[in-house]
Structure 1
């Protein structure tokens, strides 16, 4: 999918812009949360 196709799709469906923003926000928060629960290994 090219950038023009995505731009056209979002221009025709403005509600999807908010949905995509919310999805990216949730994924960002989930990534930070998962990184915080990481385990550190100190060598062999």
Structure 2
């Protein structure tokens, strides 16, 4: 029951603040890219 009201309040907040929704979307995209970069940097190469 509490999750439903929280989701509803969050949806109402984002509906009235569209720039915040854009900022959250951008942050999610940047975090996804940072995860990929970290995964590539963590691999070890056994070379000559």
Query: What band does the TM-score fall into relative to the shorter chain?
Result: 0.7 to 0.9
List structure 1 segments (4+ residues) > 6 angstroms apart after TM superposition: none
* Higher alpha-carbon Rg: 2
Matched length: 40
Aligned mate of 2:33, from 19, 29, 35: 29
Segments of structure 2 that go 5 or more residues without pairing to the other structure are none
Root-mean-square deviation over aligned CA pairs = 1.5
Which structure shows the bigger proportion of residues in helix conformation?
Answer: 2
Measured in 2, the distance between the counterparts of 1:32 and 1:39 equals 11
TM-score normalised per structure 2: 0.72
Segments of structure 1 that go 5 or more residues without pairing to the other structure are none
TM-score normalised per structure 1: 0.77
